[in-house]
Amino acid sequence: MSKAILLNNLLARQPAIISQITGLPEDIHRLEEFGFMPGRSITMVQPSKTMCIVKMGSSKMCVRTNNILVKVV
């Protein structure tokens, strides 16, 4: 696998593995409640500089990109 990058650096349809979630504890906890955890596979649906749509399992979610680090697979 490659070096960890910010989520917004993925291209559309590009798969990745969540490497790390940073930020305030309450922000990290909220993302974990939605299933965003290190080791989880995601696929970029619609990239953006501030908010991205990603697919995780059979769900699509819109998330902020500044606190999720991923590794391209």
pLDDT of residue 50: 87
pTM above threshold 0.85 = yes
b/e per residue 33-53 (b: at least 16 CB within 10 A): eeebeeeeebbbbebeeeebe
Q: List pLDDT tens digits, range 23-68.
A: 999 999 999 999 999 999 999 999 998 899 999 999 999 998 889 9
**Structural domains counted in the chain:** 1
State which residues form the domain around 26: 5-72
| pLDDT band per the 50, 70, 90 thresholds, residue 1 | low
